[in-house]
Amino acid sequence: MAPNRITRKNGNDGRNKRMKTALKILFFPMTISKVLVRILGRVIVGAMGFLLMAAGLFLIEPIQIPILGIPLLLFGLILTVKAVF
């Protein structure tokens, strides 16, 4: 039987793992902020789409200006779908 030998490719392997862990901990708030910005962006785009759809429906039904209302409604629908998917 061969004796147990510990072979290392890199001499400071343990230090690299600790450094990666420390960097992950340090940059964790930045990662969270990126995620929150993406979520907030989707919420804003969805709200804009919802408001545009409401405005389009308002222009179509009570005011009866479909030439402006239909494109507004469709654009709002596109923004809402974009926010969801």
For the chain, the structural domain boundaries read 43-85
Q: What angle do CA 21, 13, 11 make, to 5 degrees?
A: 150
**Rounded to whole angstroms, how far apart are CA atoms 85 and 79?**
10
pLDDT digits (tens, 9 = 90+) for 4-39: 666 555 555 556 777 788 888 888 888 889 989 999
**Rounded to whole angstroms, how far apart are CA atoms 41 and 55?**
21
pTM summary value: 0.67
pLDDT band at 82 (very low <50, low <70, confident <90, very high): very high
CB neighbours of 30 closer than 8 A, spacing ≥ 6? none
Helices then strands, each counted (H, E), the chain: 3, 0
Q: For the residues 53-80, what does the mean pLDDT come to?
A: 96
